[in-house]
Chains A and B, each alone.
Chain A
Amino acid sequence: MTTITGLLLTLAVPLAGVIWGRYLRVNPPAFRSGRFSFCTKRAKKDEEVWAFSNHLFSHMIMISGVNMGVAAVIFYFGTLFIAGDDKWAAASVALFIVQALCILIVYRITDFMVKKIYRPSETEEKEEKKTAG
């Protein structure tokens, strides 16, 4: 029973990622709205960027969810067999944290890719730096 709880914890973030991505794919969020949309400052620039960034993010998050899920199962059972029973709780919590950070990294990578594709003009870039400063 406890082993199943550990497995569920390690699969929670990957599953959430896949569900989130699938949800965005099936229900593309309306411009500058939507509870679970990819809603960065850059994505809100215009409708085209909004649609593209949400589509890209849904794709990225689903792929990373699947990959993380596979990696989590391998890592989890690996920990159980190699390190033994007493380490699995710590391993699952650590895995959970790493996966949550991975989701954040995917979010940032998507934002970076949108920036690369829809390169802002020089004045926009200056303004962006100003607001960041």
Chain B
Amino acid sequence: MVFSSISFLTFFLPCLLACYFLIPSRFRSARNGVLLIFSLIFYACGGPKFLLLMLLSIAVNYVCGLFASSSYGRNVRRTAMWASVVIGIGLLGYFKYAGFFAEIVNSLGMAVPVPEIALPVGISFYTFQGLSYVIDVYRNDADVQKNPFKIALYISLFPQLVAGPIVRYTTVAEEISSRRESLSEISDGIVRFIFGLAKKMILANSMGEVADAAFSQNADEMSVAFAWVGALAYTAQIYFDFSAYSDMAIGLGKIFGFHFLENFDYPYISKSVTEFWRRWHISLSTWFRDYIYIPLGGSYCSGKRQIFNMFVVWACTGMWHGAAWNFIFWGLWFFVLLVGEKYLWGNGLSRTPAPVQHIYALLAAVISWVFFRASDLPHAFSYLAAMFGFGDGLWDGQAVYYLLEYAPEWILCIAASMPLKVLLQKKLENARDKKGSGTAAALLIWWPKLAALFLLIISYTELVTGSFNPFIYFRF
């Protein structure tokens, strides 16, 4: 089940809201129980057989968390932590990478049967959440949770279960036990959810159509302009698709009294790749920073060791996204750029005019998304070749068609990639505070709600008339 589906919006969510809010707020455990049951149902809708796998993951992390707490000896704690890591990564490896590794072995001349294993939805996300809990308990960064239902709720909480953001246990530990749902928070949550829904339905899906048209075509027959149009469309699609899901997750969390951290901060206005990764999928990059990069030595070691640490992190980031060479190449592309920025051209880049820095960062992102979207590595390279003139001509009718036909969506995408909303909010706040403007005060309260209402109507129309279009990050 996806958030942007009729069944979720008209059946699942209303049922959950009714069951949840009919229980008085003083019965926190009962409310948590409702949330847990609905989260498990939500997950089971995506594949009932994988529910067992998630329950196994919950059980492992719960038990390992208990033994990793400070009440046990050093060896027991360490063994529990490593057991959680090995089992978690082992399950992830089996379900996600078994086929990929079998193919690698076969390419070396051996004959290993390639297993065809269906990928459980959201396994990468809930595995990382579970690991972060046990490691935090082991490091004494989080208190151990002795109530298994609370751990189950933390790992299976449906808003962020299948496509992130990766929520740390410390972020929601307090709120699982004691939180307050208020009308203003619920209202903010609904607005945030609708903004996310609109991003997905209006922007991401439209750009997806353009990207699909471009990437399904033979790269040798593409003009430079159309190849760029396709790559830019996918650049917009992946951002609006994924940030839409994060917005919806954060919004749903707010409705139920949880405060998840932001996952995106206008990444396409970055001036460098380093900055881009501070703004893109923040929960994943901080996870890798805290649990891989820093334990390996981080930046407090020799230059060679730092480069090695970065290599490990970016190879893992690539692998996390998918079991294919193009994802690994995608990770290594960022590794090269980040090492280059750190040791070679970072200083020079910061001295160039701001537009040049923006173009550089955006170009790096666009090229990276080609690796991400292409069906395999040869396709990615032939597509890149088409972008740089080795296809068929510079300009053709298709490029013009997809630019003009989707002109409103392109304009909206450019506008929504920039922090215009934040600027407007600040201007209104200034007008309210300094000039005492009543209109600004009213607008500040009402414009998000009115905009959300308008967007909800459009999104619903798109939802009813459009075809099924799942989120990109579901497959990770």
Chain A interface residues toward B at CB < 8 A:
2, 5-6, 9, 39-41, 89-94, 104, 107-108, 111, 132
Please choose the segment from B173-181, B311-319, B351-359 that sits at the chain A interface, where 4 or more of its residues have CB less than 8 A away: B351-359
Is A89 a contact partner of B394 (Cβ separation < 8 A)? yes
* Chain B, Cβ-Cβ closest to A93: B389
* Chain B, Cβ-Cβ closest to A38: B353
- 17 additional contacts, CB 8 Å, given A39-B353, A93-B388? A2-B394, A5-B395, A6-B394, A40-B351, A89-B389, A89-B391, A89-B392, A90-B388, A90-B390, A92-B389, A92-B394, A93-B224, A94-B389, A104-B356, A107-B352, A108-B348, A132-B347
* Chain B, Cβ-Cβ closest to A132: B347
Is A91 a contact partner of B347 (Cβ separation < 8 A)? no
* Chain A, Cβ-Cβ closest to B354: A39
Is B390 a contact partner of A107 (Cβ separation < 8 A)? no
18 contacts between A and B (CB under 8 A): A2-B394, A2-B395, A5-B394, A5-B395, A6-B394, A9-B394, A40-B351, A89-B224, A89-B389, A89-B390, A90-B388, A90-B389, A92-B394, A94-B389, A107-B352, A107-B353, A108-B352, A132-B347
The reply to whether the CB of B393 lies closer than 8 angstroms to some CB of chain A is yes
Query: Which label, helix, strand, loop or mixed, suits the secondary structure of the A interface?
Result: helix
Chain B interface residues toward A at CB < 8 A:
223-224, 347-348, 351-353, 356, 388-395
A132 CB contacts on chain B under 8 angstroms: 347
Is B388 a contact partner of A2 (Cβ separation < 8 A)? no
The minimal Cβ–Cβ distance linking B18 to chain A, given in whole angstroms, is: 55
Is A111 a contact partner of B393 (Cβ separation < 8 A)? no
The minimal Cβ–Cβ distance linking B30 to chain A, given in whole angstroms, is: 58
9 A-B pairs with least C-beta separation: A90-B389, A93-B389, A89-B389, A89-B394, A5-B395, A5-B394, A93-B388, A90-B390, A2-B393
| Cα(A23)–Cα(B340), bound, Å | 35
| Cα(A41)–Cα(B223), bound, Å | 41
A9 CB contacts on chain B under 8 angstroms: 394
B390 CB contacts on chain A under 8 angstroms: 89-90
* Chain A, Cβ-Cβ closest to B388: A93
Out of B347, B352, B391, B393, name the residue touching A104 (CB < 8 Å): B352
A2 CB contacts on chain B under 8 angstroms: 393-395
Is A89 a contact partner of B353 (Cβ separation < 8 A)? no
Is B388 a contact partner of A94 (Cβ separation < 8 A)? yes
| Cα(A91)–Cα(B392), bound, Å | 13
The minimal Cβ–Cβ distance linking B86 to chain A, given in whole angstroms, is: 42
Is B351 a contact partner of A91 (Cβ separation < 8 A)? no
| Cα(A107)–Cα(B352), bound, Å | 8
| Cα(A108)–Cα(B223), bound, Å | 33
| Cα(A9)–Cα(B351), bound, Å | 27
| Cα(A91)–Cα(B389), bound, Å | 7
* Chain A, Cβ-Cβ closest to B396: A2
The minimal Cβ–Cβ distance linking A3 to chain B, given in whole angstroms, is: 9
Contact (A89, B393) CB under 8 Å given A94-B388, A107-B353: yes
| Cα(A132)–Cα(B395), bound, Å | 43
| Cα(A16)–Cα(B347), bound, Å | 26
> Which of B347, B348, B388, B394 neighbours the largest number of chain A CB atoms within 10 Å of its CB?
B394
A6 CB contacts on chain B under 8 angstroms: 394
| Cα(A2)–Cα(B391), bound, Å | 14
B224 CB contacts on chain A under 8 angstroms: 89, 93
B389 CB contacts on chain A under 8 angstroms: 89-94
The minimal Cβ–Cβ distance linking A22 to chain B, given in whole angstroms, is: 18
Out of B351, B391, B394, name the residue touching A111 (CB < 8 Å): B351
| Cα(A9)–Cα(B388), bound, Å | 13
| Cα(A92)–Cα(B315), bound, Å | 35
B348 CB contacts on chain A under 8 angstroms: 108
The minimal Cβ–Cβ distance linking B421 to chain A, given in whole angstroms, is: 24
* Chain B, Cβ-Cβ closest to A3: B394
* Chain A, Cβ-Cβ closest to B391: A89
| Cα(A9)–Cα(B224), bound, Å | 11
| Cα(A111)–Cα(B224), bound, Å | 34
| Cα(A89)–Cα(B351), bound, Å | 32
The minimal Cβ–Cβ distance linking B75 to chain A, given in whole angstroms, is: 44
A92 CB contacts on chain B under 8 angstroms: 389, 394
| Cα(A92)–Cα(B388), bound, Å | 9
* Chain B, Cβ-Cβ closest to A91: B389
B394 CB contacts on chain A under 8 angstroms: 2, 5-6, 9, 89, 92-93
* Chain B, Cβ-Cβ closest to A42: B351
The minimal Cβ–Cβ distance linking A117 to chain B, given in whole angstroms, is: 18
B353 CB contacts on chain A under 8 angstroms: 39, 107
| Cα(A108)–Cα(B351), bound, Å | 9
The minimal Cβ–Cβ distance linking A80 to chain B, given in whole angstroms, is: 13
| Cα(A93)–Cα(B347), bound, Å | 27
B395 CB contacts on chain A under 8 angstroms: 2, 5
| Cα(A108)–Cα(B347), bound, Å | 13
B391 CB contacts on chain A under 8 angstroms: 89
The minimal Cβ–Cβ distance linking A69 to chain B, given in whole angstroms, is: 18
| Cα(A93)–Cα(B391), bound, Å | 12
| Cα(A11)–Cα(B390), bound, Å | 20
A94 CB contacts on chain B under 8 angstroms: 388-389
The minimal Cβ–Cβ distance linking A64 to chain B, given in whole angstroms, is: 16
| Cα(A87)–Cα(B223), bound, Å | 13
A104 CB contacts on chain B under 8 angstroms: 352, 356
| Cα(A130)–Cα(B347), bound, Å | 12
* Chain A, Cβ-Cβ closest to B228: A93
| Cα(A9)–Cα(B228), bound, Å | 15
| Cα(A41)–Cα(B353), bound, Å | 10
